[in-house]
Chains A and B, each alone.
Chain A
Amino acid sequence: QSALTQPPSVSGSPGQSVTISCTGTSSDVGSYNRVSWYQQPPGTAPKLMIYEVSNRPSGVPDRFSGSKSGNTASLTISGLQAEDEADYYCSLYTSSSLWVFGGGTKLTVL
């Protein structure tokens, strides 16, 4: 069982916005800003999309944004496109647990 809880699935139509949550506790997500998000289309390796809660690596579209409130981090994808269909994972580094992943969320573009 993952230490970080994600919804198993979310969906949206092209052009819409979707938000994927990643919930932990006051001891992990609530205390650390080393939250990152990864995109994994079927049959491919994960790709870093967001790091340190809200930073985008170069090359990642600004349609992808990250935030955190309390014990929950969120990834928002605006202007949904068919190519965004993938599994999304949150990850957190803490000094006690080192690196942990959420269970993953399957995004379906309707």
Chain B
Amino acid sequence: QVQLVESGGGVVQPGRSLRLSCAASGFTFSSYAMHWVRQAPGKGLEWVAVISYDGSNKYYADSVKGRFTISRDNSKNTLYLQMNSLRAEDTAVYYCARDKAPELRFFVAPGPFDYWGQGTLVTVSS
């Protein structure tokens, strides 16, 4: 079965960096676009970033553009989120999620988020 396991969260000071990882199993990782979605404590969901199945295309929410970088290693079935210049408002549970549309279909008709990890908490505080 599809499994997504995030790691790398923790407490970090404002202005510092953190890298999140998401280990995938149970499906052909290299065939699917992957997303990061976050949820601030007691708040709603916010889409953060997406990377295409082959890593050739990346898109970001305006709130993180220029500070966060999404990447993937298909040989390791792992998704990453490099977070730099962290701010208090980046405090959230970060979920990785799979896009339902496989391979090239993602570019024509992006899917919903059909599988989610359990999330990892990032706290930005001095």
Contact = CB atoms under 8 A, between A and B. Distances in A.
Contact of A93 (B45, B110, B117, B118): B110
Interface residues of B, number: 22
A103 interface: yes
A45 B100 contact: no
A41 interface: no
B64 to A, nearest CB: 12
A103 B28 CA distance: 32
By size class, the interface of chain A is 20 to 34
| Interface class of chain A by DSSP | strand
Interface string A1-31: 0100000000000000000000000000000
A90 to B, nearest CB: 10
Interface in A54-110: 57, 89, 91, 93, 98-104
B21 to A, nearest CB: 16
A52 B44 CA distance: 21
Nearest to B44: A104
Interface of B: 35, 37, 44-47, 50, 59, 61, 95, 100, 109-119
